[in-house]
């Protein structure tokens, strides 16, 4: 279909084998593979984190808000350049989204000054996203959350393997939410991880994940328990063993696959740095190690994005937009917080293909086409 796809999964016999192992075990529901995945992920993040694997990243974000008791009448400061899950979960618990703008045309992370200017007596939490796997300014954001007594929630959907000055993203917030959707750096189809360093919160989250039940079904199956109590109302946001097994292998491969992404991105930089009608965000990033989740560029005003996308498509190259402006969605047209920089990026951003098994030649194909159009 496409000459160069936007994204491709990076599976080899290791993923096939471990899925076979799960199928042969005859047990698909949350059990040992999931526990192993949670332990491995917590070790990978370090900093005394505790992890619970869940059905997807949106579930993790939803659980974070529920566990922190954010509800009707509360305000949550959310990113203006993000996937709509952030706003949706905030809305679903009855809280109000207050958008904070990005920092600049080079730094698309949330602006700590704008966050602080939007704090009111109703603000309960700040939800941040580390766009494309580039860390937000955690020193300033952590400090302002502390100063104003606000919960910090990290949307880490883009971040596996990325850090802020050598400390893994996902270890700063009261809660962090990872996504292992099919196109993320750890790809399992559908899956997520909720991360906290707070034991009490962890127990609450564990109950929320599975109907508020005291004993997981695995323990009953193994004969360790015959009944259960329901301690508080909960949901079913459990992951399954196939996803956890894939997650274990993908986590093992993460360092190598992120290094492959880095090489490809560096080649993109080499090819595109001198193209005057585009610019590349985070080009001289100094807050830590990114994981190059996606390859975003910004088209100058003189370029018609729809026409660029169409000409790339004609050349067999798949592109995307991260992200459409929230205010342009019907459900969010009444959001009035100004975030003009994010709106500008939403109107001019273009995401180029990037995935670990991509070749340098494929990067060249993309750049050749883009340059034809952009110079």
Ligand X SMILES: *Cc1c(COP(=O)(O)O)cnc(C)c1O
State yes or no: residue 85 binds ligand X (CB under 6 A).
yes
Binds ligand X by CB under 6 A, chosen from 157, 272, 299, 308: 157
Given candidates 158, 267, 287, 348, which one binds ligand X under the rule CB under 6 A? 158
- The answer to the question of residue 129 lying near ligand X (CB under 6 A) is yes
H or E element in which residue 341 lies: helix 340-348
181 vs 373, which CB is nearer to ligand X?
A: 181
Q: Does 234 bind ligand X (CB under 6 A)?
A: no
Q: Does 83 sit near ligand X (CB under 6 A)?
A: yes
Closer residue to ligand X (CB): 5 or 320: 320
250 is an interface residue for ligand X by CB under 6 A? no
243 sits near ligand X (criterion: CB under 6 A): no
- Residue 253 is among the residues annotated as catalytic for this protein: no
Q: Which residue has the tokens 């096939």?
A: 16
H-state helical runs in 273-337: 305-314
Query: Would you tell me the crossing angle of helices 360-374 and 305-314 to the nearest 10 degrees?
Result: 130
- Residue 346 binds ligand X, judged by CB under 6 A: no
d(CA 109, CA 218) in angstroms, rounded, equals 41
User: For the chain, what is the total number of helices (H) and then of strands (E)?
Assistant: 12, 12
User: Considering only 55-63, 91-99, 116-124, 233-241, which stretch makes contact with ligand X by CB under 6 A?
Assistant: 55-63
* Binding pattern for the stretch 178-197 against ligand X, x by CB under 6 A and - elsewhere: -x-x----------x-----
**Which residue is catalytic, options 33, 124, 184, 341?**
184
What is the torsional sign of CA 331, 336, 341, 343?
positive
CA separation for the pair 364, 288 (Å, rounded): 27
CB of residue 307 to ligand X, shortest distance in Å: 26
Out of 15, 75, 116, 155, point to the residue binding ligand X (CB under 6 A). 155
Return the number of the residue (44 or 181) whose C-beta is nearest ligand X: 181
Q: How many CB atoms lie within 10 A of CB 137?
A: 19
Copy the structure tokens of residue 184.
């993320």
Of the two residues 125 and 367, which places its CB atom closer to ligand X in the complex?
Answer: 125
Instruction: Choose one: 25-33, 53-61, 238-246, 342-350; the region binding ligand X (CB under 6 A).
Output: 53-61
In whole angstroms, how close is the CB of 83 to ligand X at the nearest point? 4
In whole angstroms, the minimum distance from the beta carbon of 136 to ligand X comes to 12
What are residue 349's DSSP bridge partners? Answer: 298
Q: By C-beta, is 89 or 272 nearer to ligand X? A: 89
Q: Rounded to the nearest whole angstrom, what is the least distance from the CB of residue 117 to ligand X in the complex?
A: 23
> For residues 261 and 61, what is the distance between their CA atoms, to the nearest angstrom?
26
Instruction: Give whichever of 142 and 320 is closer to ligand X, judged by the CB atom.
Output: 320
In the 8-state DSSP scheme, what is residue 326? G
Q: Return d(Cα 172, Cα 153) in angstroms, integer.
A: 9
Q: Rounded to the nearest 5°, which phi and psi values hold at 249?
A: -70, -45
Range 28-49 burial, b when 16+ CB lie within 10 A, else e: eebbebbeebbebbbebbeeeb
Binding stretches for ligand X (CB under 6 A): 56-58, 82-83, 85, 129, 155, 157-158, 179, 181, 192
Catalytic residue positions, numbered: 184
């Amino acid at each position: 279909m496409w000459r160069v796809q936007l994204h491709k999964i990076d599976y080899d016999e290791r993923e096939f084998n471990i899925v076979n192992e799960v199928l042969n075990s005859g047990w698909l529901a949350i059990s040992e593979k999931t526990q192993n995945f949670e332990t491995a992920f917590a070790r990978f993040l370090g900093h005394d984190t505790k992890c619970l694997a869940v059905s997807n990243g949106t579930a993790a974000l939803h659980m974070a808000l529920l566990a922190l008791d954010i509800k009707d009448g509360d305000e949550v400061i959310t990113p203006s350049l993000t996937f709509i899950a952030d706003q949706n979960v905030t809305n679903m618990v009855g809280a109000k989204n207050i958008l904070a703008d990005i920092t600049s045309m080079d730094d698309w992370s949330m602006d700590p000054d704008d966050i602080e200017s939007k704090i009111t007596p109703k603000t309960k939490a700040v939800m941040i996203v580390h766009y494309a796997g580039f860390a937000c300014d955690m020193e300033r954001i952590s400090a302002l959350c502390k100063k104003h007594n606000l919960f910090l929630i990290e949307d880490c959907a883009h971040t596996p393997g990325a850090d802020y000055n050598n400390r893994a993203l996902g270890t700063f917030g009261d809660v962090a939410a990872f996504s292992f959707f099919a196109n993320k750096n750890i790809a399992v189809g559908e899956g997520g991880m909720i991360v906290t360093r707070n034991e009490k919160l962890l127990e609450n989250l564990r109950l929320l994940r599975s109907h508020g039940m005291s004993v997981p079904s695995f323990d009953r199956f193994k004969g360790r328990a015959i009944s259960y109590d329901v301690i508080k109302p909960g949901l079913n946001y459990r992951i399954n063993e196939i996803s956890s097994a894939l997650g274990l292998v993908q986590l093992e491969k993460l360092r190598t696959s992120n290094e492959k992404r880095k090489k490809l991105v560096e080649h993109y930089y080499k090819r595109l740095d001198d193209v005057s009608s585009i610019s590349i965000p985070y080009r001289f990033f100094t807050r830590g190690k990114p994981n190059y989740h996606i390859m975003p560029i910004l088209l100058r005003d003189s370029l018609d994005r729809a026409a660029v996308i169409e000409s790339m498509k004609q050349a067999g190259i798949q592109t995307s937009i991260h992200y459409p402006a929230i205010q342009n969605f019907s459900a969010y047209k009444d959001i009035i917080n100004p975030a003009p920089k994010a709106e500008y990026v939403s109107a001019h951003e273009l995401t180029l293909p990037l995935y670990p098994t991509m070749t340098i030649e494929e990067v060249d194909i993309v750049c050749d086409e883009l340059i034809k159009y952009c110079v």
